[in-house]
Amino acid sequence: MKDIEERLLRIFYRLLDAFGKRYWWPGDTPLEIIVGAVLTQNTTWKNVEKAINNLKKEDMLSFEALYGVDEKRLSDIIKPAGYYNIKSNRLKNTIKLFYEEYNSSIDYLSTISTEKLRKSLLGVKGIGKETADSILLYALNRPVFVVDTYTKRFLKNHRPPLMDDSWGIKDKDSYDYIQGFFTRHLPLDKYIYNEYHALIVCLGQRYCKKIPDCGGCPLKGI
C-alpha cells in the first residue's frame, strides 16, 4: 500500500520535472472556471476560449448577466464551443444553482462542505462527475481528484510494468473507483490533485493518444 503511494508520487514528480507546472485552471475568476468546465465537455480548450472571449466581449461573464440572459442568445454567443444548444441550457442550469442557492457568493460557498456542494452540483442537469469535480477542485479549491478520459487512458496504457496488476485497476473501472484509488494512495492535498490531473492531461495530449506508446514519454524507464 505504501508502495503504491511512493510509486504515484514518483510518477508525479517525473511528470512535473518533464512538463513543469501547468497553472491550471486557465481563468481569472471562479465563475470563469465554472463556465469553462461546462463548455469544455468533450471539446477542445481552444474552442472554449473563443466562447469565453465572446462572453467577455458581450460583458456576460457575471452571475447576474448569465442568470438573466435569454437561453437562445446565450447559445449564439457560445457557438464556437460546439453543442451550443445543449451547453446553453447546461450553463443556465449551473448558474441558476449558484445564483439561487448560494447567492452567487464565493465567500458563502466557502462555508459549505465539499460533500454538500458535490451533491448539489450533481443535481444539476448537465453536470456529471467530472464537471462537478473540476468545479470543486479548480474553481472552489477543494481537495477532489478529477478523473477524465486521459486519466483512464493513463492507467490503461501504463500498467504493467509501470503499475502492478496488484493495484487492482481494471479497464472498465468506474469513475468512483478510479477516483478512490488516487485519493486512497495520495495525500489529501489540493495542490497535488490540481497538478497531477493537469500533468496527466499534458502527458496524454503529447504522448499517449490511443494506444500504449511511450516513445519519448518521460515515464519511460521510471
Q: Which residues make up the interface to DNA (CB under 7 A)? A: 24-26, 36-37, 40-47, 50, 79-80, 82-87, 124-132, 134, 138, 148-150, 172, 174, 201, 205, 209-210
152, 205, 213 from 210: Cα distances, Å: 11, 10, 8
Nearest to 17 by CA among 203, 154, 182: 203
d(CA 167, CA 36): 33
Least Å from the CB of residue 3 to DNA: 28
The residue (of 43 and 183) whose beta carbon lies closer to DNA is 43
The residue (of 45 and 63) whose beta carbon lies closer to DNA is 45
User: How many secondary structure helices (H) and strands (E) does the chain include?
Assistant: 12, 0
* Set of cell numbers at residue 180: 478512490
The residue (of 26 and 30) whose beta carbon lies closer to DNA is 26
Nearest to 102 by CA among 51, 75, 67: 67
Chain CA centroid to CA 143, Å? 12
The residue (of 84 and 145) whose beta carbon lies closer to DNA is 84
Least Å from the CB of residue 73 to DNA: 14
Least Å from the CB of residue 107 to DNA: 23
The residue (of 103 and 174) whose beta carbon lies closer to DNA is 174
Q: How many CB atoms are closer than 10 A to CB 137? A: 23
Least Å from the CB of residue 51 to DNA: 9
* Set of cell numbers at residue 86: 445543449
* Set of cell numbers at residue 16: 512535473
Least Å from the CB of residue 21 to DNA: 13
| Residues 174 and 163: beta-carbon distance below 8 Å | no
Least Å from the CB of residue 104 to DNA: 21
The residue (of 62 and 173) whose beta carbon lies closer to DNA is 173
